[in-house]
Amino acid sequence: MVSVSAGLVVADEESNIIHLVHYMTQDYFEARKEYWFPDAEPNFKMICVTYLSFNTFESGPCLSEQELEARLQQNQLYDYVVRNWGYHAYATATKLEQLILDLLESDTKVSASSQALITEDYFATSHHKSKRITALHLIAYFGLNEAASTLLRYGKCLNSKDTDGRTPLPWAAQNGHDGISSCCLRQARPMLTQKTH
């Protein structure tokens, strides 16, 4: 591939990553990506969500670090997909597709993907077998407002806590997602009013 790229790209021997030779080339494609690749983000979103929906992840989170490493080796795109599906969904957030809803409704697939998302410190704690990260935590992490509204309407619990006792609200706030924070607070307002009466 490098030999047919007219000198636009170079392969890094150590990382095996292909880079554009000059930053101006990167700037050019970034500025014109909608023109050259108008369906890139929606396509990436659907590819990522489809990948996360594979039956192989139905077993849920791995029970050991070795098992997780094996999963990552056997599913080469998994690490990228887990870390980036939400960003692609955020970039194309016009409506919530059924495929995304199906993924978020699968507790085992949500648990499996959240394990890989937080893999750096996942096995550093003694309670790694159950991080209890819910679909709402994931969409708060990525800032998916439409998904949050939909799941809350479907009765997902706003007060669900991860193993560290955090609800989705701090996950949204930590990542600067004001829209999710507002959605969570709007949803929490009636619950708070009911408790005071």
Q: Which two tokens stand for residue 54?
A: 């594979």
Decide: 2 and 12 in contact? Cβ < 8 Å: no
Q: What is the pTM of this model?
A: 0.76
pLDDT bin (cut points 50, 70, 90) of residue 5 is low
| Phi (first) and psi of residue 10, to 5 degrees | -140, 145
Look at residue 126 in the predicted model and tell me its pLDDT. Answer: 44
Three-state secondary structure readout of 49-65: HHHHCCHHHCCCCCCCH
CATH of domain 39-196: 1.25.40.20
CA 145 centroid distance within chain = 13
Look at residue 192 in the predicted model and tell me its pLDDT. Answer: 44
Decide: 162 and 131 in contact? Cβ < 8 Å: yes
* Domain boundaries for CATH 1.25.40.20 within the chain: 39-196
Q: Please determine, for residue 182, whether its predicted confidence score (pLDDT) is greater than 70.
A: yes
Look at residue 122 in the predicted model and tell me its pLDDT. Answer: 47
Please choose, from the candidates 196, 89, 197, 91, the residue with its C-alpha nearest in 3D space to the C-alpha of residue 150: 89
For the chain, give the mean pLDDT.
82
Q: Please determine, for residue 194, whether its predicted confidence score (pLDDT) is greater than 60.
A: no
Q: What angle do CA 127, 105, 54 make, to 5 degrees?
A: 85
| % of the chain surpassing 70 pLDDT | 83
* Per-residue exposure over 155-168, b if at least 16 CB sit within 10 Å of its own CB, e if not: ebebeeebeeeebb
